[in-house]
Copies of this chain bind each other. A is one copy, B any other.
């Protein structure tokens, strides 16, 4: 695929600094690129790579000045989002959508599989499953009884979907994800053993939900575990039973949400965050990586850090003092000696 800077600038409502007839034929990072490559600068950490890049053209915002007069720039409002648009062009030019049904599939009776869909080899489609038009089921996927999957979803190889799960439209589920496994519900008995609590509910995903590789989502006990539209879950995330995650929230890798917790809309959680069970987290809450939440977050829009979490800036200050704890301890002892004659 070849694109002139003129074409790219038109597409992005950008302003060219340099040669508008210059042609790029691939995309790259600033560091690895060559003269035919387009790249972008969106994070000041990469300024040094920008100054030494061999890329032919770079998307930048209007705060960036270049010393390199040979480098072609396209000035846009949001270089990251603009680069994503160009990535999509290249993605579409490369990808041929899969269609049809391969050999070695197991499709039970009474299923409803939409047009223009794809079912890969060694996939298993149980009774009463509904699959929407244009949805791609890659090889080695398991779809339990009575599952509904909307249109234009992509279910990558090896995903396992338990019975009664409902999945909206335009969802992406990565390899190894498990949707609808049994919640961790055991009632402790007097003799010290555990009695299993049957889990009869299901999992419901909205539209445009993305589920990362090897992520697990447990089904509800009697109602649904709900992942609302636009939610993005990274890899190896755990979502407990009866949890609800509000729309357009994003949760990074290896974070876990314990059972029956309710997460608001537009929340963003970093990697390895843990949220206790049976709490509520307000809309627009941001939690830095490794944060631990033990009780409900009631006020919207807080930025939190630490385990247990506190306001981001407060935890930062605590950490500064924390590094000096041994010194503080000695000072206290000295003060005691001087003032109280201890020791």
Binding site for B on A (CB under 8 A): 26-29, 32, 39, 43, 45, 78, 80-81, 83-84, 87-88, 90-91, 94, 102-104, 106, 120-122, 124, 138-140, 142, 144, 156-158, 160, 162, 172, 174-176, 178, 181-182, 184-187, 189, 192-198, 200, 208, 210, 212-214, 216, 218, 221-223, 230, 232, 234-236, 238, 240, 242, 248, 250, 252-254, 256, 258, 265-266, 271-272, 274, 276, 278, 289-290, 292, 294, 307-308, 310, 314, 317-326, 328-329, 331-332, 334-336, 338-340
* Assembly stoichiometry (copies): 3
In the complex, are the beta carbons of A324 and B319 less than 8 A apart? no
Give every chain B residue within 8 A of A122 (Cβ-Cβ): 104, 106, 122, 124, 140
User: In the complex, what distance in Å separates the CA atom of A283 from the CA atom of B265?
Assistant: 41
In the complex, are the beta carbons of B216 and A216 less than 8 A apart? no
Q: How far is the CB of A158 from chain B (nearest CB, A)?
A: 5
Kindly identify which residue among B189, B223, B329 contacts A29, using a CB–CB cutoff of 8 Å.
Answer: B223
In the complex, are the beta carbons of A318 and B328 less than 8 A apart? no
In the complex, are the beta carbons of A290 and B278 less than 8 A apart? no
In the complex, are the beta carbons of A189 and B81 less than 8 A apart? yes
Known: A106-B122, A232-B186. A80 touches B157 (CB 8 A): no
User: In the complex, what distance in Å separates the CA atom of A195 from the CA atom of B82?
Assistant: 11
In the complex, are the beta carbons of A258 and B289 less than 8 A apart? yes
Other than A158-B178, A160-B213, A321-B325, give 15 A-B pairs with Cβ distance below 8 A. Answer: A80-B187, A81-B195, A120-B124, A176-B176, A178-B213, A181-B212, A184-B253, A186-B210, A194-B248, A234-B238, A238-B254, A238-B271, A274-B289, A317-B326, A318-B323
In the complex, are the beta carbons of B253 and A238 less than 8 A apart? yes
In the complex, are the beta carbons of A181 and B187 less than 8 A apart? no
Give every chain B residue within 8 A of A213 (Cβ-Cβ): 160, 178, 181, 216, 218
In the complex, are the beta carbons of B195 and A84 less than 8 A apart? yes
